[in-house]
A = this chain, B = another copy of it.
Amino acid sequence: MDQPSLKAVLGQAQAFFASKGLRFTKQREAVTTLIFRTHEHFRPEELCERLRKSDSSASRATIYRTILHLVESGMLREISLGGGERLYDPNFLQSPHHNHLICVDCREIVEFEDPNLDIMQNCITRRMGFSPTEKALRIEGRCDRLRLLGTCKNMKSGKPKKRIGSKRV
C-alpha cells in the first residue's frame, strides 16, 4: 500500500460505518484491509478466496455485504472491463477520475487520467441537458511494442500474462 496509508483508509471506512450507525467489526475490517492493501481489481469470489488464505475470516455473505457498503461509501467502485464480469476497483480513492485502458493481447490494465478528456466529457453531457455524476471510459487497444517487436513486457515467452491488477500512469 502506498499513498493513503492503509491506516488512513481503515479510518475512513470506520468513519463511514459509524456515520451510518453501523459497526466496524473485525470481519468488515478484514475485508476492507484485504481490498485496500493492494491496487488489484478483484471479483467478489476472488476476494473470498484471498480471505480464505489469510489469517482472518469472514463468510461469503459478509464479504458480499461489506463490498456493497464500501461501494456505497464511495471508497470502492464497480467497474466493467467487458465480459459481463463484475469487477471492483479500489483505486478511485487515490485517483478519483481515472479511466482504464486494456491491452487486448495481454489483458494488462493501464489506469490513466486526462483533465482535458474530463472537461470535454462534461461539455458534451451538459450540451445534452444532463449534469454528469459519473463517467467511465474504457479503451481496448493493442500494445505498439508487441505489434512492432513481437513481444511486450507483459508477454512471458509468447504467452500473454493474465492480469487483473493495474498499473498507474
Interface residue ranges, A against B (CB under 8 Å): 78, 80, 82-86, 101, 103-104, 110, 112, 114, 116-117, 120-121, 124-125, 128-145, 147, 169
Complex copy number for this chain: 2
Are the CB atoms of B121 and A117 closer together than 8 Å? yes
Partner pick for A120 among B86, B116, B135, CB 8 A cutoff: B116
User: Given A84-B78, A135-B137, A141-B125, does the pair A130, B103 have CB atoms closer than 8 Å?
Assistant: yes
Contacts of A114 in B (CB 8 A): 120, 124
Which of chain B's residues has its CB closest to A137's CB?
Answer: B137
User: Given A84-B78, A138-B136, A140-B135, does the pair A101, B120 have CB atoms closer than 8 Å?
Assistant: no
Contacts of A78 in B (CB 8 A): 82-84
Contacts of A103 in B (CB 8 A): 130
Which of chain B's residues has its CB closest to A126's CB?
Answer: B144
**How far does the alpha carbon of A101 sit from the alpha carbon of B78 in the complex, in Å?**
17
Which of chain B's residues has its CB closest to A103's CB?
Answer: B130
**How far does the alpha carbon of A134 sit from the alpha carbon of B112 in the complex, in Å?**
16
